[in-house]
Amino acid sequence: MSKKKITIPELKAKRENGGSFAMVTVYDYPMASLVEKSSIELILVGDSVGMVIQGLNSTVPVTMTDMLYHTRLVRRGTPNTFIVGDMPFMSYQACEKEAIHNAGALMQAGADCVKMEGTRFTAPKVEAVVKCGIPVVGHIGLTPQTAAAMGGFKLQGKDLDSAKNLMADAVAYQEAGVFAIVLECLPTALGQAIHKRLNIPTIGVGAGHGCTGYNLNAYDILGIFDQFVPKFVKRYRDVGKDITGVFDAWRADIENGQYPLPEHNFNVFEKEINELFKS
């Protein structure tokens, strides 16, 4: 039986009924194909591709071309998984027209909705995209595209003034029409307070328990990407070490004459070829 893609009304119903869902971040066809076989409902094609796949120090250099490319790859692997396409740095901040154009391009590449980082000051761009009929997931708290202005990848909302600002951001995004919102790197109490104040699904990324859904990066939970492991990540496997072990085992087999073996060879027209080229 094939997987049935979850819908936005069903995601909202999970919030209303006290349900939950999971969103995992992946960037390519093979990983997306594995998610398709799982019970995970959503995929985020994140601009974190810049750090995890491209080896960059931040998400800022990631372009719309990058995001369109990776969204297409993921869609090919997941016909029945809901895809959230990340709007990269400066693809929507400058003006509403550009925001609408780029959001539409992500939808045409295969996304089911787009994700837009920011604060209440970004809300007008979000509202413009929503009014065009494009579903939007908001993202507040630690917003990687503006992490430099925050002093790096750090916990947000650590004092009452910043907590009030984040609450105002969350409310502004809901009023702008987002159907769900990502809360990243917030104190648990603040995440819970925002969840209670809003009536849309919240997606926690290091915001503690109490959200509707949760998002982690596949490369983090599998132990493939270990350049930086956030506190909120639960690592379920150490696949990176397994992969390195496989590479070393293959290299040893070559050295010891155990690869290739007869079963790996194509023994076609062997007699004729030997006759043709015998010295």
Q: Determine the number of helices (DSSP H) and then strands (DSSP E) in the chain.
A: 11, 8
Which residue, chain included where needed, has tokens 């809300």?
123
DSSP state of 2: P
> To the nearest 5 percent, what fractions of the chain are helix, strand and coil?
45, 15, 40
For residue 70, give both structure tokens: 């990776």
Nearest Cα neighbor of 58 from 149, 148, 142, 182 is: 148
Instruction: Return d(Cα 57, Cα 126) in angstroms, integer.
Output: 27
Instruction: Return d(Cα 2, Cα 81) in angstroms, integer.
Output: 11
**Who contacts 242 (Cβ-Cβ below 8 Å, separation ≥6)?**
none
HSE of 39, CA atoms in CB hemisphere, 13 A: 2
Instruction: Return d(Cα 177, Cα 99) in angstroms, integer.
Output: 15
Burial label, 57 (beta-carbon count in 10 A; 0-12, 13-18, 19+) = exposed
- Supply the residues annotated as catalytic: 184
